[in-house]
Structure 1
Amino acid sequence: MKSYLVGVGMTKFEKPETRDWQYWDMAKEAGTAALADARIAYGQVEQVVAGYCYQASTAGQRAAYGLGLTGVPVYNVNNNCATGSTALMMARQFVVGGQSECVLALGFEKMRRGSLGGGSDGEFATSPVARHYKIMADRHGFEATPPTAQLFANAAREHMERYGTTPAQLAAVAAKNHQHSTDNPNAQFQDPYTPEEILAARTVHAPLTKLQCSPTSDGAAAVVVASEAFVDRHGLGDRAVEITAQAMTTDTEESFASGSCLDVVGTPMSRAAARQVYETSGLGPDDLDVIELHDCFSVNELLTYEALGLCEEGESGKLVESGATTYGGRWVVNPSGGLISKGHPLGATGLAQATELSWQLRGEAGPRQVDGARVALAHNVGLGGAAVVTLLTRPRP
């Protein structure tokens, strides 16, 4: 059975404490926008999947109640940074499995300023990603910098040592995404930076600087997932973007056996999820037009190029330098500005990716529009771990 995105919406992503709002306010704003985009009422929604990481239990109900008190089931999802895409996957499964014809996936996050914690002396043993941190610590030590930044910075160091990747290539990723965000009114940051400015910014954990790291953010995003029968019955064909294939993977022995941060940060999961999606859809990297991927740090965009098959292993630095992943190149990657510049409210990130790609495939992305976009791919990863890859299509005229 087929499933479709028929309505999408999101708030502007903002620095925490910028706006005087609660998570239910932002969820209502995004959910109302998605319902309006789908031209349906909340009463037509049969189930709600709510994703978040930092709010209390049953926050999904509190958020959904702002849209209506219809008594429908609300499921709460927490899957680290892949929470939003996990909510989308659950919504799709309800539709594909024939349990519902119309499901709302809602993701939101109200965060605190500053870098994410986890893995410090007091939390190391009980952290869900303690095994990941131990792999890193055994090889690189553990320093007094943000632990997630350490993981990815050490992955960058290993990539540089193994393949000759340069700091300039890492900076090129961030420069591209900051440039893309200048055309996105929903992005947390909308200022362009040169690679030189990015390299000169404050170092978070070498070789990564502040402008190569995604910020903490407040925000929400929502999508309406519907069956083919629902689309036909309500005349939503002009809105419908097909979820052609989707896969989620978690860590396997490959993530830990090598003792390398290149594997610990999720590359094997991403590679496996992409492979499943390509096999299911019959499409591949050469068929893609536009991609939103999980650039939580600049190095992860490079690692994801390789995991998605955009280039051979070790060639990602050269790929971004070539211009292949921006406008005028082979693909446009992160036209929204990505996590680095658009922002990263954990529960909303995956659904914001789906929102951007729906606009792209419907030709509604304004100055960010990728000409002729008909096949799109979203990649969302969470340490601990989960990787979700979603392939979206829209029929060519």
Structure 2
Amino acid sequence: MMNTSKVYVLGGYQTDFSKNWAREEKDIFDLLKSSVEGALESTTIDPSEVEVCHIGNFIGELGSKQGQLGGLFASIHPAFSGIPASRHEAACASGSIAVLAAAADIESGRYDLACVTGVELLRNVSGEQAADNLGVACWTGREAQDATYPWPYLFNRLIDVYDERYGIRYEHIAEIAKINLDNAKRNPNAQTRKWQFNEYSFLENDEHNHVIEGRVRRQDCGQVTDGGATIFLSSEKYAKAYAERLQIPFESIPVIKGWGHKTAPMLLEDKIKESAEQRYVFPHVRKAIEDMFDRAGLRGVDDIDAIETHDCFSITEYMAIDHFGITEPGENWKAIESGDIAFNGRIPINPSGGLIGLGHPVGATGIRMVLDAYKQVTGTAGSYQVKDAKNVATLNIGGSTTTTVCFVIGR
């Protein structure tokens, strides 16, 4: 791997993911503006210092009838007028692609300070319309054509694959959802933090945990969410000046230690065929994670203190357990039964609540993950702080792992 200059993470801001912006007669610009202004305030960065902006967004045109989001960014503050701004789309991995692009800008020496912001307005339309809009990340006309809800339909297929290859029990999938919803109760920005559940909510119970598609049930699904998240990335030069201004140790500012990025064929069935004789269900996801560890100079998951992963459905996190190397392939259930992935476990997964608990504003999710990793390694995660976290990994996927991006954030 080639050596590149370090990219520093200076902090940021996320909106309250329980807020319904359309109900308050606010639009995607208001959401974007709130996120960026919150990040400027929390980092004490002056707008005039920002040199470039990268925006993650998936379906602005479909959900909000709004494209050209760079222009919306430039409209937030007079100092942003004229700043180069780009929008990035890779379905649910849109935010992470924006982070990669901003990091490349810093590494190349083009700019010293980048704003990376993600935004998605999803609750301004019916649930059925939102599901239809999100379905464009499938291969239109070629997969999930018989599905009422395309993504639960496709990820139910992933349950089938694990069952065929290794065997799987619903109680383990459900426990992932339960852990993430419990974690969300600690997070003041989580969409589900006030939701109530009962003894039947995580069982194969059609009244309290009804079927969405196949074996995917209500509690197994990430939430349709309005939300924005913003972080600032900088060069070493800017980070040193920033540390001096804030009178904090330069060494306390986290860096992007490593990253991985892979793109697989569009159809889920093509991915499954490719992996038929291989150790992992998604070898490209495993390779992205291995690349991340290599670039970070880490031996593997034992050098990680927590993970923020993409649980668009419980089965997606189930997949992440063995792909990260927490267990051998197919032995994912062991990490669930042992409590290893619980909040106080050996390797906590989604202390924030994840997509199921915290929420999933699609274009913002990858950026929110990096922000939560930053919070953990700086000890500023508050009520959901993982003790002594020094290195935190993220895994963000778009489509049926069509786009996979991961990061290690650490000091």
Question: What TM-score do you get using the length of structure 2 for normalisation?
Answer: 0.86
Q: Which runs of 5+ in 1 are unaligned?
A: none
Write the deviation string for residues 244-294 of structure 1: whole angstroms up to 9, x where unpaired.
Answer: 11121100599726438999x993332121011111112110000011000
Give the letter aligned to residue 38 of structure 1. T
Tell me how large the CA RMSD over aligned residues is. 2.6
Write the deviation string for residues 183-229 of structure 1: whole angstroms up to 9, x where unpaired.
Answer: 11111111364674122311101211111101211110000000111
Alignment of 1:125-274 (within 5 A): 129-130=138-139, 134=143, 143-190=146-193, 191=195, 193=197, 196-199=200-203, 200=205, 201-235=209-243, 237=250, 240-251=253-264, 256=270, 258-259=272-273, 267-274=282-289
Q: Secondary structure at the match of 1:198?
A: coil
Maintained 8 Å contact 2:377/2:392? yes
Residue 351 in 1 paired to residue 367 in 2?
yes
Give the letter aligned to residue 169 of structure 2. T
In 1: Cα distance, 2:251 partner to 2:86 partner: 29
- Give the drift of 1:113: 3.5
1:43 alignment partner, one of 8, 25, 48: 48
Give the letter aligned to residue 240 of structure 2. D
What is the count of residue pairs matched by the alignment?
Answer: 382
Closer, same or farther in 2 for the Cα pair 1:128/1:33, shift >3 Å? closer
Q: Secondary structure at the match of 2:392?
A: strand
Give the letter aligned to residue 8 of structure 1. G
Closer, same or farther in 2 for the Cα pair 1:174/1:133, shift >3 Å? farther
In 1: Cα distance, 2:332 partner to 2:319 partner: 7
Q: Secondary structure at the match of 1:381?
A: strand
- Give the drift of 1:311: 1.2
2:59 alignment partner, one of 54, 59, 72: 54
In 1: Cα distance, 2:297 partner to 2:140 partner: 36
1:110 alignment partner, one of 103, 118, 121: 121
In 1: Cα distance, 2:267 partner to 2:210 partner: 34
Q: Which runs of 5+ in 2 are unaligned?
A: 61-65
Q: Percent identity?
A: 28
Alignment of 1:272-287 (within 5 A): 272-283=287-298, 284-287=300-303
Give the letter aligned to residue 116 of structure 2. A
2:320 alignment partner, one of 284, 304, 313: 304
Could you tell me which residue of structure 1 aligns to residue 63 of structure 2? none
- Give the drift of 1:18: 4.3
Closer, same or farther in 2 for the Cα pair 1:307/1:165, shift >3 Å? same
Maintained 8 Å contact 1:77/1:87? yes
In 2: Cα distance, 1:208 partner to 1:179 partner: 19
Give the letter aligned to residue 272 of structure 1. K
Give the letter aligned to residue 130 of structure 1. W
Could you tell me which residue of structure 2 aligns to residue 7 of structure 1? 11
Closer, same or farther in 2 for the Cα pair 1:266/1:77, shift >3 Å? farther
Give the letter aligned to residue 387 of structure 1. T
Question: What TM-score do you get using the length of structure 1 for normalisation?
Answer: 0.89
Could you tell me which residue of structure 2 aligns to residue 364 of structure 1? 380
Q: Secondary structure at the match of 1:392?
A: strand
